[in-house]
Structure 1
Amino acid sequence: MNFDKINYIERKTGEIKTENPPGEGFLKFLYYNPLGKLPLNLVVRKKFLTDYYGKKMAEKSSIAKIKPFVDANYINMDESKKRIEDFTSFNDFFIRELKEGAREIANGEDILVSPADGKILVFENLQETSKFFLKGDDFTIEEFLMDKEEAKKFIGGTIMIIRLAPVDYHRFHFPADGEIGESKLIDGYYYSVSPYAIKKNFRVYCENKREISILKTERFGEIILSEIGATMVGGIKQTYKPNTFIKKGDEKGYFFFGGSSCVLFFQKNKVSFDKDILENSSRGIETKVYMGEKIGKAK
């Protein structure tokens, strides 16, 4: 069976690059081979496997994995507050904090910034995603939020997906100034959010464990901020204080070991997203962005 390569555009250079996700062969087996359905449904999507692996990555012995991982993926440790030898486990390295100034936060009250390092897709109309992902399956904001009344506010709005690979900085931040509410946990499975899995079943975003909070802003209306659990994501930790006013770029939380996604919903006619991101998204190509980078502005 042939598989499309995972290509994305490195926004800083305009280069088209190819991603080689960890466990690529296993992911293809699980999601595209009929024999993969059994282990996927019985083991991989269940919490105990993710918990087990998360605990292994929190053990002191996992320190030995850090330097080979850094070297293999060309991770810039000059940005990290801690040196490699100062981490107490692989998970400690994985949730590393960056030095002040390592990410520049784009200025301007009407400027929207990326909440995380990752590869971004933006669809100004949710129905557009059917060309790349939905494969005839229904995906509704109401099902995602499990809140009919809240979903009504976002009819005709925009969905933004930022996919974090294991090599990325795994703390997520606020994309704009505003008042942030409580985080609501919706329990679910732990399917992979790799493009191999998403292209097969976009509905994993409605089926996976996720946390949802609402950011009320002056310039961009209400924004739904959601963090998605996934295979081998040991947990989602919120570090912000609910029901407070936060500033753009402030930390919201972090993911424990694994790759995952931040999914954001914007109300209709509130944000003009950058042309290159929209054009790439319309072709189903992700764009690599960094936390604090401008991705749009208020309409």
Structure 2
Amino acid sequence: MWFFYQTFVSRLLLALPPTWWVLGWQHRRIAAHANSPESRNDIPAFIKSYSVDVAAAEKPVEQYRSLQEFFARRLRPGLRPIYELGNDAIAVMPADSRCVVYGNVDAARRFWIKGRNFNVPALLGLAPSTRTPWDNCAIAINRLSPSDCHRLHASVSGRVVTTETHGHRFMGSEWAATHSGVNVMTQNERLVMEFESEEFGPVVQVMIGASEVGSVRPLVKPGQRVTKGDEVAVFTYGGSIMATLFVFGAIDFEADLCRHTSGGCETLVQYGSPLGRATGGWRRTLAPATSAE
């Protein structure tokens, strides 16, 4: 993986159309197998390879009909209590994952997102010159491994505004890929879901597919109201990334997350645990644009 994403030879390979044809073919082949009944025979090896905690799964292993069904398993009810469920001023983790947080996009680009052409409009599938409320947004990045539960949850309570799919490639989501010069977060297939929250203002969650991952499937529709911790999407087979965007000044991330991130470390987290607290600052950030209108 390091060779493929971090060397001069890899940059040459990734510039060639045949490379993407091979990667696309491999992706489709693996995805088709993971959805087939025959793939259930691969589940024991998958569990062993990634040290999956099967006791946390909603059902016994033998009841899953395919590798994909096991991969997208739910966890046992009550296993992940949602932190202060009745308090919408606290955002929660959207998935079991490894998390880093940044108060603005410039910091994220310096320390985590290394893609040469990364910018927020590109992440959201917009033209580079598009004006958005996210120009200097705070961002939380959750990196899932194959052993994690791949059902994705709302970080905040509110109304679903839009769900859109962008991108067409499936590069890796491993550390070597995300910290290379390729644009994993802006080129891979991804689901962009925007929420309107009374406490946090507009919030966007971007669910990013990766190699050996099929489409990211939404489980909610525009106009639907959700409560933090509700399922909103599901990944198919593989590991991947989520990015949650908050308007600058809208959130104070948890102190331990900030401390670990500033030390160059990811934090192992569980969905439903606290991500940060609303500050109300998004109202000041968006006020000039509102006044201008």
TM-score, structure 2 as length reference:
0.86
Structure 1 counterpart of 2:5, from 31, 36, 40: 31
Whether 1:274 aligns to 2:254 is yes
Whether 1:101 aligns to 2:94 is no
Partner of 2:283: none
- Counterpart Cα distance in 2 of 1:226 and 1:241: 15
Whether 1:64 aligns to 2:38 is no
Aligned partners of 2:88 and 2:228 also within 8 Å: no
Give, as a single letter, the amino acid of the residue that structure 1 aligns with 2:27.
Answer: T
SS in 2 for 1:278: helix
Structure 2 counterpart of 1:127, from 103, 106, 117: 106
Q: Could you tell me the percent identity over the aligned residues?
A: 26
Partner of 1:23: none
Partner of 2:284: none
Whether 1:112 aligns to 2:86 is no
The equivalences for 1:127-276 within 5 A come to 127-134=106-113, 137-147=116-126, 151-201=131-181, 203-276=183-256
Q: Can you give the 5+ residue segments of structure 1 that lack an aligned partner in the other structure?
A: 1-26
Whether 1:81 aligns to 2:58 is yes
Aligned partners of 2:151 and 2:235 also within 8 Å: yes
Structure 1 counterpart of 2:265, from 281, 285, 296: 285
How far residue 49 of structure 1 moved from its aligned partner, in angstroms, is 2.0
Give, as a single letter, the amino acid of the residue that structure 2 aligns with 1:61.
Answer: E
How far residue 134 of structure 1 moved from its aligned partner, in angstroms, is 5.0
SS in 2 for 1:56: helix
Q: How many residues align?
A: 273
**Aligned-pair Cα RMSD in Å:** 2.1
Post-superposition Cα deviations, 1:150-209, rounded to whole Å, max 9, x if no partner, equal 752123220111011111110001111100023111122111121101111262211111
Distance 1:201 1:178, change over 3 A: same
Whether 1:92 aligns to 2:75 is no
Q: Can you give the 5+ residue segments of structure 2 that lack an aligned partner in the other structure?
A: 280-293
Distance 1:151 1:190, change over 3 A: farther
Aligned partners of 1:125 and 1:156 also within 8 Å: yes
- Counterpart Cα distance in 1 of 2:214 and 2:115: 31
- Counterpart Cα distance in 1 of 2:278 and 2:78: 25
Partner of 2:291: none
- Counterpart Cα distance in 1 of 2:195 and 2:130: 13
Aligned partners of 1:117 and 1:290 also within 8 Å: yes
Post-superposition Cα deviations, 1:218-250, rounded to whole Å, max 9, x if no partner, equal 011110111111111022111123211111111
TM-score, structure 1 as length reference:
0.85
- Counterpart Cα distance in 1 of 2:52 and 2:131: 39
How far residue 217 of structure 1 moved from its aligned partner, in angstroms, is 0.2
Whether 1:295 aligns to 2:275 is yes
- Counterpart Cα distance in 2 of 1:30 and 1:215: 36
- Counterpart Cα distance in 1 of 2:150 and 2:177: 20
Give, as a single letter, the amino acid of the residue that structure 2 aligns with 1:28.
Answer: W
Aligned partners of 1:123 and 1:159 also within 8 Å: yes
Post-superposition Cα deviations, 1:23-71, rounded to whole Å, max 9, x if no partner, equal xxxx122113444446555346843321111111122222122123223
